[in-house]
Amino acid sequence: MRLHATLTGAATQTNDGERPDIVLLHGLFGAGRNLGVIARGLGATHRVLALDARNHGDSPHAPDMRYTTMAADVAETMTAHGIRRAAVIGHSMGGKTAMTLALTAPDRVARLAVLDIAPVAYPEHYLDHIEAMRRLKLTPDLTRAAADAALAAAVPDAALRGFFLHNLVLGATPHWRLDLDAIARGLPDLVGWTDPAPGVTYRGPTLFIGGATSSYLPAAYHEAVRARFPQAAIETIAGTGHWLHAEKPAEVIARLVKFLA
């Protein structure tokens, strides 16, 4: 599947030839625009392609949400944009997609950066939130305030509700940009992890960045990271959680710039 892409910046010549293009991959319930601050921060020196995953944003919908399938979507979209090889950066679900691409098609990944996720299975969650979004009555008179109020019981965190509601299109025919049915069916794959092939590793330059207050990349998962990505550097940003690119974008950008250099 060819994914919707937003282009930022332009390719820049260096003494060693062109800098690698960058592909940005967002997390579950997000879209490429959620990584816009990162795209702009890196766009001064690189061409940055922020992709909407299948069933998210403006990309097509389809039932298969396995990471091998989503990694193939990224490779197909890179080819469509004339990109043979790129530095691939992914957050959460996008990080697992990026890892899978590096393990299945290492020739397409010049460098790999993963934000606050590990190659492990996590407890299944979010199903109650998906059901709450499914139950929302999508009538022409629906307002964002009314939608926010309707989700409040199931999603008490106002910031998380706002994140979900970025996917709601209001008007004569209100609809979710998300394919909620496909995501609900695919949730076991999305929170899980399956190695693409036993013993396969990616040996290119790799950086994992975790939030210090997040539970997604604790020290207990570092062995799983290095078993598959033996060149990985693992760093932590203090005072931030899972949404580190939104909470401390300048520090995330600074670490990515250093890694890409």
136 and 31 in a common domain: no
Regions of the chain with pLDDT less than 70: 11-18
Distance between CA atoms of 196 and 113, rounded to whole angstroms?
18
Closest by Cα among 78, 32, 36 to 56: 32
Q: Which tokens belong to 7?
A: 């282009």
223: CB partners within 8 A, 6+ apart: none
Active-site positions? 92, 181, 242
170 and 232 inside one domain = no
Residues 101 and 31 in one domain: yes
Answer yes or no: do 25 and 135 share one domain. no
Co-location of 52 and 179 in the same domain = no
pLDDT of residue 48: 97
Residue 42 tokens, joined:
């890196």
pLDDT at 240: 96
Statement to judge: residues 48 and 145 lie in one domain: no
How large a percentage of the chain has pLDDT more than 90?
93
Judgement on whether residues 198 and 163 belong to the same structural domain of the protein: no
Q: What is the mean pLDDT of the chain?
A: 95
Res 18: pLDDT: 57
Answer with the one of 185, 217, 232 that is the final residue of a domain.
Answer: 185
Q: Do 208 and 96 fall into the same domain?
A: yes
The per-residue pLDDT for 11 is 61
Of 166, 185, 204, the residue that ends a domain is 185
Longest dimension (CA), the chain: 58
Does 141 share its domain with 61?
no
114 shares its domain with 201: yes
| In a shared domain, residues 56 and 38 | yes
Structural domain range at position 152:
127-185
Burial (CB count <10 Å: 0-12, 13-18, 19+), residue 178? buried
Same domain, yes or no, for 16 and 96? yes
- How many domains, the chain? 2
Residues 213 and 184: beta-carbon distance below 8 Å: no
